[in-house]
Amino acid sequence: MATEENIGLRQRYELLKGAEHHKNALIEELLRRLDELTEDYHQEKLDHARESHFNREVQLQEIQLRDELRKYKALMARDAFILVLIDGDGMIFDDRLVQNGEAGGREAAGLLWNAVMDHFQTDTGLPSDIKIVTRIYANLKGLGDVFKRSGVLSTPSTFEDFARGFTGSKQLFDFVDVGVGKDRADDKISEIFKLHLYDSHCRRILFGCSHDNGYARLLEDVADISIREGITLLEGVPFERELSQLKSSYQTTRFEGLFRTTKINIYNQQYPQPQGLPPPGLPPPQMQQTMGLPPYQSPYQPGIARTISASPSAPLNPAAPTWASAAMTPPSQMASPPPTPQPTANIAKQVLRNRYGQRIDPIVSYDPNEVKRIKKLKMCNVRK
């Protein structure tokens, strides 16, 4: 009996000993996991502190960048301007303004300023205090002579007075004399255009060049669409063919009554010719009778120079004899020529002339694509 009781006590002891072992193992496992969690916690705490510090630095940098951007925008708005760039050799002010000399120049500057402000008044991308910088380049002496020959001005110096009045009317308006020389105005305008094309202060460019196809290459080189959107082509005379093809890529506008819509006609001014002599290129009177032409009578009187208005719409004198139409009269409608003498072969081919005896050249046909190709070669340009 005692032996059985001893066996039961030993079994119970072994059970208790095993339970104690399992308890110790569980406690040790719990302590190990606690150490791992504590280490992870400290690492997370360090990472959080580092991230918080980084976020604070980023926020400070963002605040600084916003302040600098605000200052930059204020600086750009303060110095922003619209560039009005005009080739004055072909973009010519209305005759009435030019005829008023210096006063007309001041009036033209005021009208141009108002027209530019009206055109851009709905443009939300421009500040309210936008400046207008105007540069007009032209050969003043040459234009003065053209105005004199066309009858618009009685003295060429009046146009220089006009340019002086334009320049003196506003601080940022300049009418620049480029002097005599081929493409001087074109070269200066092209360089000024390129200089300000990507200028952050230059918000818009108003480009007056509708008379010259040469500027088509300059405009074609502007590849950035966002830059093209800031360029407006100003029309005076109708756009030349190559410029007209670019109207879909650029905005266009025109200022009614400010610029001429037609080119100056220097042949409006009539010049006296010796009485009794036919215009150059017409056959002598006896040959005119042989060909059935009416005898030539000069419409001019010696010592008297008649002036016709230089307005593009002014009609020519209907009483003057039309020699070009007479030369083109079909033979069936001419008076029957006498049998002798016979006209020579070189007389049969006549040079067409207008009523003033000035030569009229026939229209020359050409391949526009070939002309464009040759222009792109720039064969006559002097490389610098």
State percent of the chain over pLDDT 90.
36
pLDDT, tens only, 42-94: 899 899 888 888 998 899 999 999 988 888 777 777 789 999 999 999 899 99
Which tokens in the block code for residue 203?
Answer: 């918000």
Burial class (CB in 10 A: 0-12, 13-18, 19+), 109: buried
Q: Is the pLDDT of residue 27 over 80?
A: yes
CB 84 within 8 A of CB 112: yes
Q: What is the mean pLDDT of residues 294-306?
A: 38
CB atoms within 10 A of CB 323: 24
Task: Say whether pTM exceeds 0.75.
Answer: no
Enter the DSSP assignment of 359.
B
Q: Is the pLDDT of residue 37 over 70?
A: yes
Q: Is the pLDDT of residue 287 over 50?
A: no
- CA distance linking residue 274 with residue 301, whole number of Å: 8
- CA distance linking residue 314 with residue 318, whole number of Å: 12
Domain spans of the chain? 80-266, 270-312
Q: What are the beta bridge partners of residue 59?
A: none
- CA distance linking residue 147 with residue 101, whole number of Å: 12
